[in-house]
Amino acid sequence: DQQVKQNSPSLSVQEGRISILNCDYTNSMFDYFLWYKKYPAEGPTFLISISSIKDKNEDGRFTVFLNKSAKHLSLHIVPSQPGDSAVYFCAASAVDYGGSQGNLIFGKGTKLSVKP
C-alpha cells in the first residue's frame, strides 16, 4: 500500500512558466514533508521541506504548499528553467519519539521536463 503518491509520472512545462508538482499521502501520522530533485545516476538533492504546523514554505523559486485536511502537498517552481529538468520525489516522515532517525517514505517521482 503506497503511503505517498505522486500520480503524475511526468510533466512538461515551457521555460519561464510555473511548474506544479503534486503529492498525496494517506498516513495522517506524517508530519514532515520534503521534496527532492534527482538527476540520472546521482543521489537525490534536498530542495525544500515543510512541517505540518505550516501550510506554506518558500525558498527562492520553490514554494511548497501543504493542505493537511486534503492530505495533499504541492511544489511550485516559478519561473521554471531548463536546468530544473529532473525527477522530483515527494517524501514524508512521522516523528518517532522513541527513536531519532526520522525515516522517509518516498513517492514514485515525477519527471519534469522544462522546454526552452
Residues within the interface to another protein (CB under 8 A): 31-32, 34, 36, 41-46, 49, 51-53, 89, 93, 95-97, 99-104, 106-109
- The DSSP code sequence of 59-116 is ETTEEEEEETTTTEEEEEESS--GGG-EEEEEEEE---TT-S----EE---EEEEEE-
In the complex, least distance from residue 77 CB atom to another protein, rounded to whole angstroms:
18
Q: Tell me whether residue 34 or residue 114 sits nearer to another protein (CB atom).
A: 34
In the complex, least distance from residue 116 CB atom to another protein, rounded to whole angstroms:
25
Q: Tell me whether residue 20 or residue 104 sits nearer to another protein (CB atom).
A: 104
Q: Tell me whether residue 81 or residue 103 sits nearer to another protein (CB atom).
A: 103
CA distance 7 to 5: 6
Instruction: Give the strand pairing for 32-38 and 86-93.
Output: antiparallel
DSSP state for residue 55 in the 8-state scheme: S
In the complex, least distance from residue 52 CB atom to another protein, rounded to whole angstroms:
7
